[in-house]
């Protein structure tokens, strides 16, 4: 689960109590993030207790998407839903446990192997074809499907950029006095992108905690679909993954540049397209965790929009 720095705290129910009330036996905490908490259960299962007010219908929609992804026969494991349950308004998703070490904890691998794992995941997703369940998923902060009322990925994403930037306008305007010009330029560049007849499956949150690897560095699993999973352009995953490898560390920019170059050289995604998608992502998610823009994620998004190369791409000068 994507975990930004200094995000706004949200009161959550006791996940162990919830799982126990549903007849499960929590064995160990596996992970926690903004959207929920994951515990290992008996019989090779895991239970995800959602903290974001997710409705059971939304969880079933995500489970249907997981089934659609599983049918793609990716070279690594993905979540396999077993059940969607509810206790006192709290939704729990039960899935088969995936094995492997999160890349974020794989101290036995160096950065080169980590970069290779990221490229491997993006390349595999580029060979997929998204189905109706992917198009039925909403974006962060919304309840309607991202694709609702749209016939193409560029059109759907451009509309999402406009809606989410408007929702975050007070904070974004303080950090980006030229917000309207930035919005116009990003929407224009998105509309100019080619439309793929058969969109790929987009994960939307390819980051080290979500990639499972073995001792050799081979990717064996991909977790936490749903934050911005959809049907779209594989270059969107390439663009965002490059920035997610290391968002806040002292070497973050170096990793970002190395992965942007790798996504271009090895997967053929034009750098201009990658930066366009990163600008779009920044506008969409800048205030996803803090409406006032007082967290690390907001700063990360704004930094990208202030980069001279991005400003030139958007026709805003340096």
Q: What is the pLDDT of residue 1?
A: 45
User: Which string of DSSP letters, residue by residue, matches 28-41?
Assistant: EEEEE-SSEEEEE-
Q: In the 8-state DSSP scheme, what is residue 170?
A: H
Q: What is the pLDDT of residue 318?
A: 67
Q: What length is written for the chain? A: 318
Residue 54: pLDDT over 80? no
CATH number of 101-313: 3.90.1200.10
Question: Which tens digits make up the pLDDT trace of 70-103?
Answer: 999 999 999 999 999 999 999 999 999 999 999 9
Q: Are 97 and 209 in contact (CB under 8 A)?
A: no
Q: Start-end ranges of CATH 3.90.1200.10 in the chain? A: 101-313
Whole-angstrom distance between the N-terminal and C-terminal Cα of the chain? 35
User: Which string of DSSP letters, residue by residue, matches 44-111?
Assistant: TEEEEEE-S---HHHHHHHHHHHHHHHTT--SSB---EEEEEEETTEEEEEEEPPPSEEGGG-TTS-H
Question: Taking residues 294-315, what's their average pLDDT?
Answer: 97
Q: What is the pLDDT of residue 86?
A: 94
Q: Which residue in 134, 122, 15 sits closest to 63, CA to CA? A: 134
- Token readout for 82 is 């077993």
Q: What is the pLDDT of residue 6?
A: 46
d(CA 130, CA 173): 35
Question: Which tens digits make up the pLDDT trace of 211-236?
Answer: 999 999 999 999 989 899 999 999 99
Q: Start-end ranges of CATH 3.30.200.20 in the chain? A: 15-96
H or E element: which one contains 158?
A: helix 153-167
Residue 34: pLDDT over 90? no
Greatest distance between any 2 Cα atoms in the chain: 60
H or E element: which one contains 232?
A: strand 230-232
Q: Are 206 and 237 in contact (CB under 8 A)?
A: yes
At the top level of CATH, which class does the domain 15-96 belong to?
alpha beta
Question: Which tens digits make up the pLDDT trace of 182-215?
Answer: 999 999 999 999 988 899 999 999 999 999 999 9
pTM: 0.91
Q: Are 191 and 102 in contact (CB under 8 A)?
A: no
Q: What is the mean pLDDT of the chain?
A: 94
Q: Are 314 and 186 in contact (CB under 8 A)?
A: yes
Give the Cβ contact number of residue 1 at 10 Å. 20
In the block, residue with structure tokens 């930066």: 275
**How many CA atoms within 13 Å lie on the side-chain side of 127?**
10
């Amino acid at each position: 689960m994507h975990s930004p720095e200094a995000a706004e705290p949200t009161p959550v129910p006791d996940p162990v109590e919830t799982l126990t009330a549903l007849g499960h036996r929590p064995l160990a905490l596996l992970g926690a993030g903004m959207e929920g908490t994951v515990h290992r259960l008996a019989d090779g299962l895991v239970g995800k207790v959602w903290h974001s007010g997710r409705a059971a219908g939304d969880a079933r929609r995500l489970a249907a998407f997981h089934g659609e992804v599983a049918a793609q026969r990716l070279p690594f494991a993905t979540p396999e839903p077993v059940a969607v349950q509810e206790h006192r308004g709290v939704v729990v998703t039960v899935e088969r446990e995936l094995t492997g070490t999160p890349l974020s904890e794989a101290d036995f691998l160096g950065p080169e192997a980590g970069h290779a794992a990221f490229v491997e995941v993006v390349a595999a997703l580029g060979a997929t074809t998204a189905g109706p369940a992917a198009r039925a998923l909403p974006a962060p902060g919304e309840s309607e499907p991202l694709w609702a009322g749209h016939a193409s990925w560029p059109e759907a994403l451009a509309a999402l950029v406009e809606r989410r930037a408007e929702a975050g306008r007070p904070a974004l305007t303080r950090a980006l006095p030229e917000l309207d010009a930035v919005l116009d330029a990003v929407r224009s560049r998105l509309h100019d992108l080619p439309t793929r007849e058969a969109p790929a499956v987009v994960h939307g949150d390819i980051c080290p905690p979500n990639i499972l690897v073995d001792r050799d560095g081979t990717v064996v699993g991909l977790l936490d679909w749903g934050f911005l999973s959809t049907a779209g352009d594989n270059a969107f995953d390439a663009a965002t993954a490059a920035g997610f490898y290391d968002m806040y560390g002292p070497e973050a920019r170096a990793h970002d540049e190395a992965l942007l170059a790798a996504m271009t050289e090895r997967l053929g995604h034009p750098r201009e397209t990658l930066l366009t998608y990163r600008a779009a992502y920044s506008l969409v998610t800048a205030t996803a965790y803090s409406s006032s823009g007082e967290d690390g994620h907001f700063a990360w998004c704004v930094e990208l929009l202030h980069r001279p190369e991005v400003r030139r791409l958007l026709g805003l000068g340096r």
